[in-house]
Structure 1
Amino acid sequence: MFSLLSIFDSRPVQPVASKASILMKGSAEQVFRYLGDDFFENYPKWSPEVKELKQIGDQPMGPGVTARQVRIDGGHRSESKFRITLYEPNRSLAFAGISEPFHCMYEIQDEGREGLVKLIFTFELLEMKIFMRPFERLIRIAVQHGAERTVRNIKNLIEIDADTAN
């Protein structure tokens, strides 16, 4: 239920955080190549809300690389810039918002069983705008569903690529 008190509540809001994981066929190298090395080609595939994605500058992929994205989420268009903050081949990739307060991390874990890896995706919205506070519960649910959809999309895309390559 909408409450005016929630708009004027001066208490700090906890970050909106979500985490999802999935097992998939493939190697850590294959998954990281798709996520990290080919990030600018593949990110809009696993996150179809991304309508435009452009690297700012021409440095090789790694920490410090910046990008601009245009997204359409639920009919709402937004533009943001972000920076790659972590780039550990075959292990992890992370980026953080420059113009918006968010953080994304993709971790790859070898499951110790040949041909299986675990992908863990974490998303954090570090700050909630005041007009969003009455909808915090719905936002948390939507962000969790988005995280689960993200790992499913990545799994499907990587496994389809592997099947067509064989």
Structure 2
Amino acid sequence: MVRGEASILIDTEASRVFDFVATDFVNNYKRWSPEVQRLDLLTPGPLRVGSRARQIRVDQGRKSDTTFKIIALETPSRVGFVEQNGQYRTEYHVEPAGEGSRLRFYFELKRLDLYMRPFEKLIRVAIQDGAERVVRNIKGLIETETPRSSTGPS
């Protein structure tokens, strides 16, 4: 198993971060993960445990077509996905942190094919870099789009 994880502080309330990542996943996923060329929700209605989606990605020149399902949706703190064949699992955790929130992202590649094992170290680095990029992208999008509230006197 190869795992990457990253955490970042975001200058907005946790409910806004959760809504951006989970509630509005279909609209926002391609924005924070530009490797996603196409995303199709296969289950009608709002995102919920058991919902399925198909994505086409191009990562470092390699195209992949996978189907995944939602395995956890705990408003307002956690959403998790697993690839239908168990190749990978991702989770986003959101928690209050002072006046803002902390976003934690986890990605697990469950197994490496035999021919990929000589490249395990490079794959680990790429997965970790990808995890850090995901949280930075989400932070940038949210903080750019969310007006700061004024708490002091005018």
The aligned residue for residue 53 of structure 2 is 67
One of 76, 82, 93 as aligned partner of 1:107: 93
The aligned residue for residue 6 of structure 2 is 20
Contact 1:101 1:127 in 2 (8 A): yes
SS at match of 1:41: helix
The 5 A counterparts of 1:117-156 are 117-156=101-140
What's the Cα RMSD here? 1.6
1:79-118, Cα deviation, whole Å (9 max, x unpaired): 000000001111011000004510000000111x22x100
Name the larger-Rg structure: 1
SS at match of 1:163: coil
Contact 1:102 1:125 in 2 (8 A): yes
User: 2:86 and 2:34 mapped to 1: Cα distance?
Assistant: 19
User: 1:63 and 1:121 mapped to 2: Cα distance?
Assistant: 18
User: 1:71 and 1:102 mapped to 2: Cα distance?
Assistant: 14
Report percent identity of matched pairs: 40
The aligned residue for residue 43 of structure 2 is 57
SS at match of 1:90: coil
1:128-148, Cα deviation, whole Å (9 max, x unpaired): 111111100000011000000
The runs of 5 or more residues in structure 1 that have no matched partner are: 1-14
Displacement of 1:61 in angstroms is: 1.0
Displacement of 1:57 in angstroms is: 2.4
The aligned residue for residue 67 of structure 2 is 81
The amino acid of 1:63's aligned partner reads: V
User: 2:102 and 2:120 mapped to 1: Cα distance?
Assistant: 30
The runs of 5 or more residues in structure 2 that have no matched partner are: none
User: 2:138 and 2:2 mapped to 1: Cα distance?
Assistant: 22
User: 1:164 and 1:42 mapped to 2: Cα distance?
Assistant: 20
Please report the TM-score for the alignment, with normalisation by the length of structure 1. 0.86
The amino acid of 2:118's aligned partner reads: P
User: 1:165 and 1:68 mapped to 2: Cα distance?
Assistant: 37
Aligned length: 150
Contact 1:80 1:100 in 2 (8 A): no
The amino acid of 1:25's aligned partner reads: D
Displacement of 1:163 in angstroms is: 3.5
